[in-house]
Amino acid sequence: MSRIVLSEINKYYGSNHVLKDLNLVVEDGDFMTLLGPSGCGKTTTLRVIAGLEKPQSGNIYMDEREVVNAKERFYEDPAKRGLNLVFQSYALWPHMTVFDNVAFGLKVEKVPKAQIAQRVQNALERMRISELAQRYPSELSGGQQQRVAIARAIVSEPKVLLLDEPLSNLDAKLRVDMRSELKRLHRELGATIIYVTHDQVEALTMSTKIAIFFDGVLEQVNTPMEVYQNPASLRIADFIGNPRINFIPGKAQRAGDLLTVESVLGIHQFNADTFTNEMPGDGLFDCVVGVRPEQIEISRQETAAGIPANIYSAMPAGSETLLQLWVGDVQLLAKQIGLKNYAADQPVWMQINPESINIFHKETGRLIKRATSEAEE
């Protein structure tokens, strides 16, 4: 079991309040990604879990065992927490072979030689680099060095594996390859992994859960698809997704179990089963309609339910075509799969499933109407 609970964690660097009343639960076997822009507190959270930083207040539990009690100034030694950390820099010993780099921690623990050889070989095979055992770090590519660093972290069979932006120094192709390897590794090991990144693609493709931070505050924790389809706030919606979500100003009126929203997309009504806990009481208020580019269907021919629009620009990108559209005085971005050819100012008609869109309260920025399960199928 490797369940981790952070309760009311506050961390300061001088007067800088880096983590603010952080409450986070990482379940046993999770691949939990800490996601957010630079300086939001995600790496500090990882270091607090690892024991490399001491919070000024709060508690941390691992498998129901208290490892941090800031009030009583109790901080369990990092070596006793049953976890390993992989840094952004590979931190390999340049004078040691790959085998010796991976075996180093086991030798310190005085594990028998035969067992060291077996466990190192197993770790290298898991990372598909067993043929590199006798090479030195200077003879390896960046991707190979990162695999060695991960092999060194998993060879001791830790309960928890902490990864701090481990792919940021790799080129685009290697990043894709390593994402696949890490996802496979998580499935094979069954270990709890906590992963720090500012790359939303990494978070969406690898994680079982994503925790999103802004300015030291944890704003949302959920599965990748739930975070993508139902971001809890405007800034999460803006941060997640490439190309970016469309934000459309609108007017909303709640009357009991019915929400009526009017925008350039028309007038739509939603029932209470799509409301979130942030939905305000009865009355009229300003809202923001969130529509993902791939949710906009484009027709060259007029359709009965179509919304008239004009092409501002078409941007073919090989596997997809991005379209900038004018709908009234609002510009929207749509995405179509494959290569499509449109002329500037060409009239088209849009169709959007209203159940797939999000509605946000303009003043609070919080999600008030979520996409329904029908939109997720």
Domain boundaries, the chain: 4-232, 238-372
Mean pLDDT comparison of 36-40, 66-70, 87-91, highest-scoring range: 66-70
Do 238-372 and 4-232 fall under one CATH topology? no
CATH match for 4-232 among 1.20.1250.20, 3.40.50.300, 3.30.430.20, 3.40.50.720: 3.40.50.300
- Do residues 164 and 46 make contact, with C-beta atoms less than 8 angstroms apart? yes
Contacts 24+ apart (CB under 8 A), 5-9: 5/59, 5/60, 5/61, 5/62, 6/45, 6/48, 6/49, 6/58, 6/59, 6/60, 7/58, 7/59, 7/60, 7/61, 8/57, 8/58, 8/59, 9/45, 9/48, 9/55, 9/57, 9/58, 9/59, 9/60
Contact 229, 362 (CB under 8 A): no
Q: Cα–chain-centroid distance for residue 282?
A: 35
> 243: helix, coil or strand?
coil
What CATH architecture applies to the domain 238-372? Beta Barrel (2.40)
* pLDDT value of position 189: 85
User: What is the per-residue pLDDT for 168?
Assistant: 82
Q: End-to-end alpha-carbon separation of the chain, Å?
A: 33
Residue 188 has pLDDT above 60, yes or no: yes
Q: Write down the mean pLDDT value for the chain.
A: 93
Q: Flag whether pLDDT at 297 surpasses 70.
A: yes
Distance between CA atoms of 54 and 36, rounded to whole angstroms?
21
pLDDT in tens, 92-146: 999 999 999 999 989 988 999 999 999 999 999 988 899 999 999 999 988 889 8
pLDDT band at 376 (very low <50, low <70, confident <90, very high): very low
Higher pLDDT among residues 175 and 36, named by residue: 36
At 373 the pLDDT is 55
pLDDT at residue 374, rounded to an integer: 45
Band (181; pLDDT cuts 50, 70, 90): confident
Crossing angle between the packed helical segments 142-154 and 113-126, to the nearest 10 degrees? 130
- DSSP secondary structure string for all residues of 155-187: TT--SEEEEESTTTTS-HHHHHHHHHHHHHHHH
Q: What is the 3-state secondary structure (H, E, C) of 289-308?
A: EEECHHHCEEECCCCCCCEE
Report the pLDDT value the prediction gives residue 375, as an integer from 0 to 100. Answer: 40
Average pLDDT over residues 24-29: 96
Give the residue from 312, 330, 300 showing the smallest Cα distance to 322.
312
What per-residue confidence (pLDDT) applies to 126? Answer: 86
Contact 247/236 with Cβ under 8 angstroms? no
- The pTM of the full predicted model, rounded to 2 decimals, is 0.90
Q: For residue 349, with 0-12 CB atoms within 10 Å meaning exposed, 13-18 middle and 19 or more buried, which class applies?
A: middle
Does the pLDDT of residue 356 top 60, yes or no? yes
